[in-house]
Structure 1
Amino acid sequence: MSGRVRFQLSSAVFVILARGAEICMLQRKATGWMDGSFSLPAGGLDGGETIRAAAVREAFEETGVVIAPEALKSVHTLHNLAADSPWIGHFFRTEEWAGTPTLCEPDKHANLQWRHLDNLPENTIPYIRQALLCAAGGEPYSEYGWE
């Protein structure tokens, strides 16, 4: 192999907690990025953990629910051309968890709402809306910001 350095992407995980036709959404606050907008339980990977393990951890950290890794179904991958650094988002869906979703990081989230896919908050982060609609339509992959 030559001495060239390969381009590397960051990864993020997103968890769609589904209760019937509703999904759990969190309103961001005091993070300095998209504050006031709605997203999903989400975050980055820690060193030495799998993507699925990161999803389990983030769901617990942000909502207090415990999810068995095998209960997470991979439903969408999004390649985002972010201004600072492109990244890959892995979206998982589950209807199975222990506990009641609660705001566990009140310093980062102002509100937790259960919303129907056809009634997402107007201030849903655009790539979150795109990924949710793609996942609901059975599209396993999409790109955001490459237009």
Structure 2
Amino acid sequence: MSTVHTTLPVAVHLFLVQEQSILLLRRYNTGYEDGNYSVIAGHLDGGEEVKQAMIREAYEEANIEISPANLQVVGIMHRRAEDERIDFFLAAQRWRGELRNNEPHKCDELAWYPLTSLPENVIPYVRQALENYRAGRWFDSFGW
């Protein structure tokens, strides 16, 4: 009997936190969860470390620079939707640069929301990850 090992897409998500509020973006024109809120996020490129991927995505999407020392891994999620995935959630409270929507073709709003009063239309696994963050839970499975 042979064992088949799976290869999973890996993503990073940024909880940019300021005074008990979090930066959310509303997805637009992507074909995935358009009209719903998420956080700055993206996939790891080959040969890329988790924090470096998050630093790259933060700059690409929101024009900010975050040093590795200012990023903390606060959660991991094993998630199942149409496929199986691993998501890393990182938090930062310090960054450099002025926040700007660098991808208006994929995002039609960047806005701060209180962590305790999120919009109804936050993508469900992101909402769960935010609840985990607030509760101090570092690992969860979603969609199983």
1:22-79 residue CA offsets vs partner (Å, 9 max, x unmatched): 1100000000010000000000011111111101111111100000012101111111
Q: What's the TM-score, normalizing by structure 2?
A: 0.96
Match of 1:23 in 2: 22
Query: Runs of 5+ in structure 1 lacking a partner?
Result: none
1:53-112 residue CA offsets vs partner (Å, 9 max, x unmatched): 1011111111000000121011111111111x1001100001010012211100000001
SS in structure 1 opposite 2:57?
helix
1:129 paired with 2:137, answer no
Match of 1:34 in 2: 33
Report the RMSD for the aligned CA atoms in angstroms: 1.3
1:104-146 residue CA offsets vs partner (Å, 9 max, x unmatched): 1000000011001111111100000000010110001011101
Match of 2:86 in 1: 88
- 2:47 maps to amino acid: G
Query: Runs of 5+ in structure 2 lacking a partner?
Result: none
User: In the aligned structure 2, how far is the partner of 1:20 from the partner of 1:56?
Assistant: 21
User: In the aligned structure 1, how far is the partner of 2:3 from the partner of 2:115?
Assistant: 44
- Counterparts of residues 67-106 of structure 1 (less than 5 Å): 67-83=66-82, 85-106=83-104
- Matched residues, number: 144
User: In the aligned structure 2, how far is the partner of 1:137 from the partner of 1:125?
Assistant: 18
Q: What's the TM-score, normalizing by structure 1?
A: 0.94
SS in structure 2 opposite 1:119?
coil
User: In the aligned structure 2, how far is the partner of 1:135 from the partner of 1:122?
Assistant: 18
SS in structure 2 opposite 1:133?
helix
